[in-house]
Amino acid sequence: MSLHQRHPQHDENMIDSAFDGGVGSIPKHRLPRHTQSADAAMRFVQDELMLDGNARQNLATFVTTWMEPQAATLIQESLEKNIIDKDEYPQSAEIERRCVNILANLWHASTPAGGADAVGCSTTGSSEAAMLAGMALKWRWRARQEAAGADATKPNLVMGANVQVCWEKFARYWDVEARLVPLDGATHLTAAQAAAACDENTIGVVAVLGSTFDGSYEPVAEIAAALDALQTSTGLDIPLHVDAASGGFIAPFLDQDLRWDFRLDRVKSINASGHKYGLVYPGVGWVVWRSADDLPKDLIFSVDYLGGSMPTFALNFSRPAAQVIAQYYTLVRYGFDGYQRIQQRARDIATTIAKGVEQLGVFTLISWGDELPVLAFSLTTPDAFTVYDLSHELRSFGWIVPAYPMPEGMADVDVLRVVVRNGFTFDLAGMFLSDLAASVERLAGKAPDRVAFHH
């Protein structure tokens, strides 16, 4: 059974060709008996994909939906390259290493050899990065416990209830208690809560730079300070990991004074999604450790069956090199100034939308787009209609805007969230606001406490 099922309709199992090219039909779920011509096969697949949404109107995803044609060319030219095959493709490996160093330097890791020997790797995305960083925390904690002759069977990971699902996955897959702290007064984890939830079995604390739920930054420096104080008073030395899936490519450019990265001694590792504000098509993430000491050696495998001996730390073996190459392209192409300009524009558009949303007079802003270029808002009085109705109504204009409850501690608040990415414009923002206003009007008109609409 596929985990992703479409609504069953009858005659589900065949696809017929859209135009009469004499191609007939092909089964959906079984391997077709006969070979198709390349053109006919392409047509079948293209027709199936036609009903996918229009990415420009998708305000739900954080993931890059547009790259320059030059990047697409590079991707096309490197489609056959396998990133694990570092002997066959030494330059792809070198490019991966440079990207790791560039990010480590951007995040203020103190890399001794002139910034050239940072500890980190590319991943499929932040989810794989979270698995790797989480494992490093777990392995180091276990070694500490064993060295102290203490119990090493009940690890926990402290994080806000607002963490992205990858951390709950990490905890479940690797048998770690997910110590999810309910929201209390803020839309994310606070320093006092983080420190209070730690004990001798805590493998680490995860702070999120850019919460998935509302785009707000968790107070990483305050969390680090609270953990420093905890160490002073109890001796517990709890490492801090920063999930900067989105913020890792925003804060270095727009919030340079914000201390969230390796400038804080407590921060031992950081992950980011290259395919979110790193501006690369889906399939690339990054994880960087503060130093070699923070990545246990026994997690690193040496592979020699591709020729040469190569250290590897990854969940997958084979993986496309194309996205890593595309990441290097964006870093070289945009440089610091370009990233700053693109992210600033996204933030300006997001804050403009936030003001427009507020002016409609029916919403309460949860976030304002001034941290991640993301805003979340709820209905001030959700009596006549809900944010779920609004999300549905916005679909009729083509906009995909998710509606969901906030995490535990704030679960009585239902929000709509808008994510502004590269490719969105002030013009589209204006259209979105007027369609949002029209949706509110339509729903208010239909609401049961109003007189029915007559033609």
Ligand X SMILES: *Cc1c(COP(=O)(O)O)cnc(C)c1O
Q: Count the residues in the chain.
A: 455
- Which residue, chain included where needed, has tokens 């727009």? 254
Stretch that binds ligand X, among 230-238, 241-249, 289-297, 415-423 (CB under 6 A): 241-249
Cβ nearer to ligand X, comparing 245 with 267: 245
Region near ligand X per CB under 6 A, out of 99-107, 172-180, 240-248, 385-393: 240-248
In angstroms, rounded to a whole number, what is the distance separating the alpha carbons of residues 106 and 115? 10
Cα(172)–Cα(38) distance, rounded to whole angstroms? 43
Nearest CB to ligand X, comparing residues 122 and 164: 164
- CA dist., res. 450 & res. 443, Å (int): 10
| Contact range with ligand X by CB under 6 A, out of 29-37, 53-61, 204-212, 327-335 | 204-212
Among 293, 288, 304, 296, CA closest to 249:
288
If one asks whether residue 126 binds ligand X (CB under 6 A), the answer comes out as: yes
Q: Read out DSSP for 49-100? A: HTTS--GGGB-S--S-----HHHHHHHHHTTT-BTT-TTT-HHHHHHHHHHH
Of residues 58, 216, 246, 391, which one binds ligand X by CB under 6 A? Answer: 246
DSSP code of residue 263: T
Near ligand X by CB under 6 A, which window of 49-57, 120-128, 185-193, 250-258? 120-128
Give every CB contact of residue 137 below 8 A, 6+ residues apart in sequence: 157, 203, 204, 239, 241, 268, 269
| Binding window for ligand X (CB under 6 A); candidates: 94-102, 119-127, 146-154, 440-448 | 119-127
Q: How far is CA 120 from CA 116, 166, 266, 386, 410, in A?
A: 11, 19, 17, 44, 36
> Site for ligand X (CB under 6 A): which residue of 85, 96, 218, 243?
243
What does the alpha-carbon distance between residue 46 and residue 412 come to, in Å, rounded to a whole number? 42
The reply on whether position 245 binds ligand X by CB under 6 A is yes
Residue 105 binding ligand X, by CB under 6 A: no
- Candidate list 208, 254, 413, 415; residue touching ligand X; CB under 6 A: 208
Select 245 or 387, whichever has its Cβ closest to ligand X.
Answer: 245
- 177/231 Cα distance (integer angstroms): 21
Q: Judged by CB under 6 A, does residue 422 bind ligand X?
A: no
| Nearest residue to ligand X on Cβ basis | 125
Using CB under 6 A, which of 105, 127, 145, 216 touches ligand X? 127
Using CB under 6 A as the binding rule, whether residue 202 contacts ligand X is answered as: no
The residues, ordered by sequence, that sit 6+ positions from 272 with a Cβ below 8 Å of its Cβ are 103, 126, 129, 244, 245, 246, 247, 248, 249, 278, 285, 286
Stretch that binds ligand X, among 51-59, 121-129, 177-185, 288-296 (CB under 6 A): 121-129
Q: How many residues bind ligand X (CB under 6 A)?
A: 14
Least distance from C-beta 188 to ligand X, angstroms? 10
Print the binding letters for residues 265-294 with ligand X: x by CB under 6 A, - otherwise: --------x-----------x---------
Which residue among 132, 166, 171, 349 contacts ligand X (CB under 6 A)?
Answer: 166
Q: Does residue 161 belong to the site contacting ligand X (CB under 6 A)? A: no
Q: Is there a contact between 248 and 270 (Cβ–Cβ < 8 Å)?
A: yes
Smallest gap from residue 61 Cβ to ligand X (A): 9
Is residue 141 helix, strand or coil? helix
- Give every CB contact of residue 445 below 8 A, 6+ residues apart in sequence: 453
Q: Does the protein bind ligand X through residue 164 (CB under 6 A)?
A: yes
Which structure tokens are listed for 446?
């239909």
Least separation, in Å, of the C-beta of 224 and ligand X? 18
Residue numbers of the site for ligand X (CB under 6 A)? 62, 125-127, 164, 166, 208, 210, 212, 243, 245-246, 273, 285
